[in-house]
Structure 1
Amino acid sequence: MSESAIDRLSLAQARALWETEDVFSLGQKAHAARLARHPEPVVTYIVDRNINYTNICACGCRFCAFFRPPGHPQGYVLSREQLAAKVAETVSLGGWQILLQGGMHPGLPLAFYTDMLAFLRDRFPEVAVHGFSPPEIVFLAEMEGLSIAEVLSELKAAGLASLPGGGAEILSDAIRGAVSPNKCPADAWIGVMETAHAIGLRSTATMVIGLGETIEQRLEHLTRLRDLQDRTGGFTAFIPWTFQPGNTALSVAETSSWEYLRWLALSRLFLDNIPNIQASWVTQGPRVGQLALFFGANDLGSTMIEENVVAAAGVHFRMEEDELRRLAVGAGFTPVRRNMDYSRRDG
Structure 2
Amino acid sequence: MIQTEQNARLREIRDKVEARERLSMDDGLFLYDPQVPLQEVGILANYVREQKNGNVGYYNINTHLNPTNVCVYRCRFCAFRSDLRDPKGYAMSDEQILARGQEATDNGCTEMHIVGGLHHQRPYDWYRNLISQLHENYPQIHLKAWTAVEINWFEFQTKNSVRWVLEDMREAGLGSMPGGGAEIFHPEIRDQLCEHKANTHAWLDIHQTAHEIGLRTNCTMLYGHLEKAYHRIDHLMRLRELQDRTGGFQVFIPLAFHPENTKLDDLKKPSALMDLRTMAVSRLMLDNIQHIKAYWIMLGIGTAQTALHYGADDIDGTVRHELIYHDAGATTPEHLTVDQIRQLIAETGREPIERDTTYHRVHRDPDNFAKWESGESVDAVLN
Which residue in 1 is equivalent to 2:4? none
Please say if 1:303 is aligned against 2:332.
no
Matches within 5 A, 1:39-50: 39=54, 41-50=55-64
2-structure distance, mates of 1:3, 1:22: 17
Please say if 1:198 is aligned against 2:212.
yes
TM-score, normalising length: structure 1: 0.96
Amino acid at match of 2:252: F
Which residue in 1 is equivalent to 2:84? 70
2-structure distance, mates of 1:31, 1:199: 33
Deviates more, 1:150-159 or 1:88-97: 88-97
Which residue in 1 is equivalent to 2:349? 332
Matches within 5 A, 1:149-168: 149-168=163-182
Partner of residue 213 from structure 1, selected from 227, 247, 260:
227
Percent of counterpart pairs with the same letter?
36
Task: Show CA shifts across 1:166-218 (max 9, x none).
Answer: 11111112211101112111111001100011111100001110121011111
Alpha carbon RMSD of aligned pairs, Å? 1.6
Structure number, greater radius of gyration? 2
2-structure distance, mates of 1:3, 1:269: 8
Amino acid at match of 1:284: L
Amino acid at match of 2:48: A
Which residue in 2 is equivalent to 1:137? 151
Q: Report the alpha carbon displacement of residue 64 of structure 1 after superposing the two structures with TM.
A: 0.7
Which residue in 2 is equivalent to 1:257? 272
Q: Which runs of 5 or more residues in structure 1 are unaligned?
A: none
Please say if 1:344 is aligned against 2:361.
yes
2-structure distance, mates of 1:11, 1:229: 17
Which residue in 2 is equivalent to 1:119? 133
**Secondary structure at 1:7's aligned position in 2?**
coil
1-structure distance, mates of 2:37, 2:94: 50
**Secondary structure at 2:227's aligned position in 1?**
coil
Which residue in 1 is equivalent to 2:281? 266
Provide the aligned length of Structure 1 versus Structure 2: 345
Q: 1:266 to 1:141 in 2, by over 3 A?
A: same
**Secondary structure at 2:315's aligned position in 1?**
strand
- Does the Cα contact within 8 Å between 2:17 and 2:48 map onto a contact in 1? no
1-structure distance, mates of 2:128, 2:153: 15
Partner of residue 29 from structure 2, selected from 7, 15, 20:
15
Partner of residue 238 from structure 1, selected from 252, 260, 265:
252
Q: 1:4 to 1:286 in 2, by over 3 A?
A: closer
Q: Report the alpha carbon displacement of residue 133 of structure 1 after superposing the two structures with TM.
A: 0.3
- Does the Cα contact within 8 Å between 1:56 and 1:75 map onto a contact in 2? yes
2-structure distance, mates of 1:77, 1:122: 21
Amino acid at match of 1:257: A
Deviates more, 1:65-74 or 1:310-319: 65-74
- Does the Cα contact within 8 Å between 2:110 and 2:357 map onto a contact in 1? no
Q: Which runs of 5 or more residues in structure 2 are unaligned?
A: 1-15, 365-383
Q: Report the alpha carbon displacement of residue 316 of structure 1 after superposing the two structures with TM.
A: 3.1
Deviates more, 1:311-320 or 1:294-303: 311-320
Q: Which runs of 4+ in 1 moved over 2 A?
A: 2-6, 70-74
1-structure distance, mates of 2:349, 2:151: 40
Amino acid at match of 1:125: P
Amino acid at match of 1:35: E
Amino acid at match of 1:338: R
TM-score, normalising length: structure 2: 0.87
2-structure distance, mates of 1:199, 1:135: 18
- Does the Cα contact within 8 Å between 2:97 and 2:130 map onto a contact in 1? no
